[in-house]
Amino acid sequence: MSVANAWAQSEQAILENIKPVAKLCLVGQDCGNSRATASSASALAPTPVTAAVVAIAAPVVATAAAAFDAAAVYQQSCFACHGTGAAGAPKLGDADAWSARTEKGMEAMMANVINGLNAMPAKGMCFNCSDEDLQNIVEYMVSQ
């Protein structure tokens, strides 16, 4: 089979696949072999459908703050370092290690969390956390 012949068959197959499967004729229009009439249209008229109306309960919307679980995010994103003390990270529950940081204030701690410090990357390992989420995690770690 030549390339030209294969191309022609391929093009014919495409045209066959996309050809119209039906034709819509409105009342009074020529429809090829016949003319659409009101009687032919009424034969195809839809029958009315009755449906029961069901009340839908109002959706319950939880706020993002209520849905945020600082402890769970800590386990997922922070535990590797803050659970083990890796690279000098203050460990969860180590009041002495955290007191030196809390004395500087939340604003200073948040600057370190957001921008990173030493081995800790910016935002720790929670790259999709908002600043508010990060502060909730810091407050969780300090309170333990």
The pLDDT-based confidence of 59 (bands split at 50, 70, 90) is low
Q: Say how far apart CA 69 and CA 126 lie, in whole Å.
A: 13
Least Cα distance to 24 among 41, 43, 39 occurs for 41
Q: Say how far apart CA 131 and CA 107 lie, in whole Å.
A: 11
Q: In this predicted model, which residue has the larger pLDDT, 81 or 10? A: 81
SS3 assignment, position 34: strand
Digit-coded pLDDT (tens) for 104-143: 999 999 999 999 999 999 998 899 999 999 999 999 999 9
Averaged pLDDT, 2-30: 75
Could you give the C-alpha distances from 74 to 7, 9, 124, in angstroms and in order? 61, 62, 10
* Phi, then psi, of 32 in degrees rounded to 5: 75, -100
Q: Say how far apart CA 38 and CA 45 lie, in whole Å.
A: 10
Q: Say how far apart CA 134 and CA 113 lie, in whole Å.
A: 7
Domains (range + CATH), the chain: 3-43 (no CATH), 64-143 (1.10.760.10)
